[in-house]
A and B are shown apart, each in its own frame.
Chain A
Amino acid sequence: MALSREQIAQRVAQELKDGYYVNLGIGIPTLVANFIPDDIEVMLQSENGLLGMGQFPTEDEIDADLINAGKQTVTMAAGASIFDSAESFAMIRGGHVDLTVLGAFEVDVNGNIASYMIPGKLIKGMGGAMDLVAGADNIIVTMTHASKHGVSKLLSNCTLPLTGKGCIKKVLTDLAFIEIRDGKFHLLERAPGVSVEEIIKLTDGELVVSGEIAEMKL
């Protein structure tokens, strides 16, 4: 069975380590916050200028001056700090964020990512995504493995305009956990009940499958 959005987030959360500063993008990445293990401390960075993002506010706690990068009302966790946008991106571009999780339309075997623009359709912009992929060393891309029509999103070459070049090393899809290295995809894990053959069929770029591929543990 392909993973649900929540299950993708759940598997990503297993990559969190104690003491990590983490930036979560909009969509599935945001859900990762719901699966942070109880026995570790993680601080969430929101690029509009908040380190130490807390949970959503109660109706009484809502504050129009306190939002996250998705423009949602939030709260601050204990130990939070507030700063301006240049400071926020100094953290990101300076490589101080330990893990970035973001979505994409396509990734390819050379670690290129396309996530912000579909020519001919409405172009809304890259927001902070280009800064995040250029600045972070440790990035996990979350997305569905293929489109609803079965068209692979893991390609030999991205077809859409790039968000970043040669910057992606890990991809977690609804079918598989994949590492990108040496110009190839490497299959690390498969979703429970999903066969290696299914993953091969839906992966357009070269996929290396070595030895027995374990199922993800959720």
Chain B
Amino acid sequence: MAGFDKVVASYAEAMAGLTDNMTVIAGGFGLCGIAENLISEIKRKGTKGLTLVSNNCGVDDFGLGVLLPNRQIKKIIASYVGENAEFERQMMAGELEVELTPQGTLAEKMRAGGAGIPAFFTATGVGTPVAEGKEVRSFNGRDYILEEAIVGDFAIVKAWKADRYGNLVFRKTARNFNPLAATAGKITVVEVEEIVEVGELDPDQIHTPGIYVNRVIQGSFEKRIEQRTTRPADPLIAKGA
């Protein structure tokens, strides 16, 4: 009896059931807080025709970008893309469908999808190309457009810690879209840096309750940095003062 134990032993098991033409919601912002090893597993499986829902699409050789060379992505719903040459080539050649979605609308689409809300009105995008074909309604004298929620066949999530029941804690800005993605997957798979025993996480400090999570796996992460910006060290601190 597994009970609430969500821990799986292998990445193959973690992504079992992912088949061609499914929709996958991915957490992460740029390369921060991405499910590195789950993405690698999708690449290894060779699943094709995927619709990806993610704020960005990685870079040429890291993050979701690694799914591009073998043409595994049919469509991407994202707010900011094109940090990689192969993405640009496929988009310009019409091989990859891109649905640009404002970042806040994207987050809300995931939140609504996970919360059983089929659609919502927002002022974001009114009068812009984003509004094309969408219902407009006025509330208190202001126009809003109707945006539909998103639910994924799978959600791939990166958290810092999980317990065996799938309760999650995120770390710093690696949280970003991850808690939202976690709620919006029919099957939500989470990879973490550390799995702890049930009862070790303070219930008051849990960001995502385990009810949203189906599978948990512990991985090791490269955590590549996109823009390494620094300031000079304080000379006093450098001297150990």
Contact = CB atoms under 8 A, between A and B. Distances in A.
Question: Is A bound to B?
Answer: yes
Interface of A: 46-50, 55-60, 62-74, 76, 82-86, 88-89, 92-93, 112, 117, 122-131, 134-135, 161-166
A84 B107 contact: yes
Contacts of B229: 56-57, 72-74
Given A49-B173, A84-B175, A127-B80, A58 B102 contact: no
A179 B241 CA distance: 50
A119 B127 CA distance: 17
B223 A131 contact: no
Given A58-B232, A131-B124, A85 B80 contact: no
A165 B80 CA distance: 20
13 contacts: A57-B229, A59-B233, A64-B174, A65-B32, A66-B172, A71-B30, A84-B178, A85-B55, A88-B107, A123-B98, A126-B130, A130-B105, A135-B124
Interface of B: 29-33, 55, 78-82, 88, 91-92, 98, 100, 102-108, 110-111, 122-130, 160, 170-180, 207, 223-234, 237
Contacts of A130: 102, 104-105, 124-125, 128, 130
Nearest to B174: A65
Nearest to B193: A65
Given A67-B30, A84-B175, A73 B228 contact: yes
A49 B27 CA distance: 13
A122 B100 CA distance: 13
A141 B205 CA distance: 39
B230 A62 contact: yes
Contacts of B32: 48, 64-65, 67, 71
B225 A62 contact: yes
A186 to B, nearest CB: 23
A83 B79 contact: no
Given A58-B231, A73-B229, A131-B104, A67 B29 contact: yes
